[in-house]
Amino acid sequence: MEELARLAGITVRTLRFYRERKLIPPPRREGRLAWYDDQHLARLNTITALLERGHTLNGIAELAEAFDHGRDVGELLGMDAPTEETPVRLTPEELADYFADDVTPENLAAAMDLGYLGIDGEEIVHISRRLLDVSSALVREGIPLAEVLRAGREVRAHTEAMADLFAGLILRHAPEEAVHRLRPLARSVVDAELSLSMDRRLNKQG
């Protein structure tokens, strides 16, 4: 315990306090010996970084619980690994840099439920660099992350329906392997229609 505290730059008393608050997972025990590893050190470094960013210990405890019970990255990427999106690995403090005070247990749970986030040890994996960048840009514009995630859930429902429509259309008139080849055409149609719909909406407001 003394060595772990030294490496983390904290006192043994602070380490015991963190353990009592369940901010770090329990050590591996062999008889009367307790073994701490790199995962414990990474968690302590995360706690220090989040404290420096203004998070409270209560908030960090809630985030730690969300991390410890979050969707495993294997489940996130498994059989549904994206073919055109680039997953992003983040530390909890890097995620906090993207979304600041909007990194709450509720928003983490919503993002995990949507399949945006998965947990890999002390790292967080976001399923898509593009979605991460767009989400953080919207939050910087003043839109709460909770609202962005709610909109994402609604968009997901519509895009699932559109994917079914285009896949069915192609499969009725072309061989199955054509679905992947013609996929960019479907995406272009959706992009163009969304652009036209935004034009119509903005013209109504004008």
Q: For residue range 92-132, what is the model confidence (pLDDT) as tens digits?
A: 888 888 888 888 878 888 888 888 888 777 778 898 999 99
Confidence of residue 71 (pLDDT cuts 50, 70, 90): low
Mean pLDDT rounded to a whole number for the chain: 83
pLDDT at 145: 94
Between vectors from CA 202 to CA 201 and to CA 205, what angle results, nearest 5°? Answer: 95
Least confident stretch, 5-19, 22-36, 103-117: 22-36
pLDDT at 33: 76
pLDDT at 79: 43
H helices of 92-177, where? 92-99, 105-114, 129-140, 145-173
2-142: in CATH 1.10.1660 = yes
pTM of the model: 0.69
DSSP string, 7-58: HHTS-HHHHHHHHHTTSSPPPEEETTEEE--HHHHHHHHHHHHHHHTT--HH
Query: Which of 20 and 75 is assigned the larger pLDDT?
Result: 20
